[in-house]
Amino acid sequence: VASIAGTLRIAPSSTSARPWRNSATTGTPVVALLRHGRALVLDGAIRNAPAILATWFLGEATGDAVGDVIFGIEGPSGHLPVSFPFASGQQPWSYDHRATGRPATDADPVEGGRARWRDAPDRALYSFGHGLTYSRLTLEDVALPKTMAWDGELAIEGNVRNGGDRDAVALVQLYIHDRVASRTRPVQQLKRFVRVDVGAGDRRKFTMNLARVDLAFVAQDGTVRAEPGDFDVRIALNGPSGGTRLSFNLAPRIPKS
């Protein structure tokens, strides 16, 4: 186990990272423990570590808590509250940024004329919401209605399957994207999340509800309102990438007669 702390730079200091890099050259499996209060840029041997555990500043019980996770007494279930970028030049990075007029994709090589960095992927190394556990968790049978009534709610249901031999805690995350609005909208926004305890080899059901207020935003005139139209939904276990993609339509208000 090698512990790495930071300085004013977003990358770990060379002094704190040197013992880790020396350990990585021995061929012995190592776990990198990050002691930090912000996102970090991880590179070289640190980025390629067999395991990385973000411990933040846990206080006096840090040793016991981290030890329980490393030795398998407890399974990790935390998820990042911020994104870890590939490079300092990507900051400030946010998962819910606005799209450009010509957004790049993860295709390599990137199509010419797209808005992108030349020397780094157009994404974070570890995104907001990223987190792993010791078991194999998957989503199954995720479904939602195609239409949300103006004054109604939308129920999103599905199952989490644990394909491993250890009990685990899944964090089911729900992100939305408003396809067309009077103001530019983020590429995605976290609107719901729910923790689901799933036993080894078991499957558990989850349900999340959305209402019109969850789709609202501050309009150009300063009022908060939702606008009818199509919305994309992503249900994921490990941040806003991957997962199950669905869509629905917010129906317009029906005038009272």
What are the boundaries of each domain within the chain?
2-70, 137-250
Per-residue pLDDT reduced to its tens digit, 131-188: 999 999 999 999 999 999 999 999 999 999 999 999 999 999 999 999 999 999 999 9
* pTM of the predicted structure, to 2 decimals: 0.86
Joined tokens for residue 227 = 């606008």
DSSP per residue, 90-126 = G-S--TTPBP-SSB--S-SSPPTT-B--SSS-SS-SB
| Mean pLDDT to the nearest integer, 99-108 | 66
Question: In this structure, are residues 188 and 173 in contact, taking their beta carbons and an 8 Å threshold?
Answer: no
Cα separation of 1 and 234, whole Å?
36
Calpha distance 104→113 (Å, rounded): 9
- Check: CB of residue 59 under 8 Å from CB of residue 81: no
pLDDT at 8: 41
> pLDDT over 90 for what percent of the chain?
59
Task: Pick 13 or 254 by higher pLDDT.
Answer: 254
The CATH class that applies to domain 137-250 reads mainly beta
Average pLDDT over residues 86-101: 83
Residue 29 identity: P
Percentage, residues of the chain above pLDDT 70: 84
> Does residue 113 surpass a pLDDT of 80?
no
Per-residue pLDDT band for 246 (boundaries 50, 70, 90) equals very high
- State whether the Cα torsion 51-132-65-199 is positive or negative: negative
Mean pLDDT of 231-250: 94
- Name, in order, each residue with C-beta under 8 angstroms of 167's C-beta and a sequence gap of 6 or more: 75, 135, 197, 198, 199, 200
Mean pLDDT score, 66-82: 94
Both tokens of residue 108?
Answer: 């390599």
Could you give the CA distance from residue 206 to residue 159 in angstroms, rounded to a whole number?
Answer: 6
**Average pLDDT rounded to a whole number, residues 222-244:** 94
Give the pLDDT score at 149.
97
Residue that is written with structure tokens 């002691």 in the block: 35
Residue 40 has pLDDT above 60, yes or no: yes
Closest alpha carbon to 168 in 60, 72, 67, 48: 72
**pLDDT for residue 37 is more than 80:** yes
**Mean pLDDT of all residues belonging to the chain:** 87
- pLDDT-based confidence at 104, cuts 50/70/90? low
49 exposed, middle or buried (CB, 10 Å; 0-12, 13-18, 19+)?
A: buried
Q: Which one is predicted more confidently, 6 or 69?
A: 69
Give the tens place of pLDDT for each residue, 6-34: 444 556 555 556 666 666 667 778 888 88
Of 87-96, 187-196, 206-215, where does mean pLDDT reach its minimum?
87-96
* Cα-based distances in Å from 39 to 7, 48, 86, 162, 170: 12, 17, 11, 30, 23
Residue holding tokens 């997962």?
243
Give the up-direction half-sphere exposure of residue 159: CA atoms within 13 A in the CB hemisphere.
Answer: 10
Q: Report the DSSP beta bridge partners of residue 210.
A: 154
> Which of 115-129, 221-235, 237-251 comes out lowest in average pLDDT?
115-129
